[in-house]
Structure 1
Amino acid sequence: MDSFWVWGMALAAYGLFLAWYVNWRGPLKPQEIDDLMARITAHNPDAGRNDPAVVRHFLEGDDGREFFMLNLVRVASTDVADPLTGQMRPARAVMDGYTRMFLPALFRRGGHPAIAARKIGPYFDAWGVEPDPEWTLVGYMRYRSRRDLAILVADPRFGGAHDFKFAAMPQTFSFPTRPVIMALASPKLWLGLTIALIAALTQIALLLVAVD
């Protein structure tokens, strides 16, 4: 039995993954930036919290590559009012109203959490900064491209979802980064190796069946 078709299927599966995971459209064009900024201004409920000029500057510097957004978050330690019902609920439960919408939308555009960590101690090195506001979480989110970030920010469907974030998180800040050293393997590596391993084991199994 010819079992080499297994590798064709493996390559096709990995190709589909790369088609989703990698930005193949290149950097943003000037007209795209103008259109996205107009949509962000029209639909983004964060207009009073974020400077549109900062967003535009980041988009204008687009190189078409992936980046990672570092987020420091302080989740309220007390119950907060649910934006929909007004009922007092734990802040983490209220924040779920945002993450339930945001994470699936991020995943559809090739993004995902790279690291999510809970703070377990106070500042060790700290100078020239405000006192520790008792940060709760650190998130490191992978974005496929700056275009994908802008499309997510401009999406009017997030208007109501942001209310949950604002209610649950009295303090936060974030900024985009690009890793200089990354010890954790990218999905492009570990998923490719996993697909290759499955293909190799499948081929061996088919050869053993053929011998029997």
Structure 2
Amino acid sequence: MNILWLWAAALFIYLGFLGWYQNWQGPLTPEEVEHYMSRLTEGTPNGTTDPAVLRRFLEKDDGREFFMLNLVKLHEGKVPDPQTGELKSSQEILSGYTSAFFKALFKRAGHPAIAARIVGGHVDSWNVAENPGWTIMGWMRYRSRRDAMELVTDPAFKDGHMFKVAAIPATFSVPTSPMISLMAGPRIWAALGLGLIAALGSMALLLLRQPGT
């Protein structure tokens, strides 16, 4: 194989990755906002979300990715499975929801950016509600607000929502847009990985072309 073709293939694969990972549809249109809001009012589980707050978030769509900051309190000890009644840990119960959700999220180029255990209480806070005892935090990447609404309003998650409610007595989620980030994301890792493969492949081809090899 020609070395140039090897690098061209790496570039082609990376462009394909960007085609999937980036949002190319632009911001939500007013018609789409109305569509998703109406789907929410048809009974799709949405917790205690204020419709007016959600509507403003959708109407201000900039078409870019965003990261949902989630603070979660899990039940301590065993809790009954909402289907079988069997006592299980809250993590086991929650997996009934997350196993399907993460698969659907990944198909839409979403993924966890950070997940961490909470190891202390509020150490610097004022004029906020009392800490309910957060257990974990997650920073979830969404390709677009459109993708987030497709997931939230997907009827496939309606049955799985009961596992989320059973495992989590309190949760708090707020969308964010990064201002500074020193962590390499999938765009950089994909570029570095493909570049490394192409470089090693080029070296192998050069060695094979050496006389006496």
What displacement does 1:40 show? 2.1
Matched, 1:13 2:13: yes
Deviations 1:79-99 (CA, angstroms, capped at 9, x unpaired): 112111122211111011111
- 1:77 paired residue number: 76
Deviations 1:100-154 (CA, angstroms, capped at 9, x unpaired): 0111111100110000000112221122122221110010000000000111111
For residue 180 of structure 1, give the secondary structure of its aligned residue in structure 2: coil
Unaligned runs of 5+ in 1: none
Letter in 1 for 2:40: I
Unaligned runs of 5+ in 2: none
- 1:209 paired residue number: 208
**How does 1:106-125 map onto structure 2 within 5 Å?**
106-125=105-124
Matched, 1:62 2:65: no
- Counterpart CA distance in 2 for 1:2 and 1:78 is 60
**Kept after mapping to 2: 8 A contact 1:43/1:155:** no
What displacement does 1:55 show? 1.4
What displacement does 1:51 show? 1.7
TM-score by length of 1: 0.95
Deviations 1:53-92 (CA, angstroms, capped at 9, x unpaired): 2211111100000000000000000211211112221111
| Runs of 4+ displaced beyond 3 Å | none
Provide the identity percentage.
52
For residue 83 of structure 2, give the secondary structure of its aligned residue in structure 1: coil
- 2:38 paired residue number: 38
Matched, 1:200 2:199: yes
**Kept after mapping to 2: 8 A contact 1:117/1:138:** yes
Alignment RMSD (CA, Å): 1.2
Aligned residues: 211
- Counterpart CA distance in 2 for 1:83 and 1:210 is 64
Matched, 1:25 2:25: yes
- Counterpart CA distance in 1 for 2:33 and 2:133 is 36
- Counterpart CA distance in 2 for 1:180 and 1:30 is 27
Letter in 2 for 1:115: I
TM-score by length of 2: 0.95
For residue 27 of structure 1, give the secondary structure of its aligned residue in structure 2: coil
What displacement does 1:43 show? 4.2
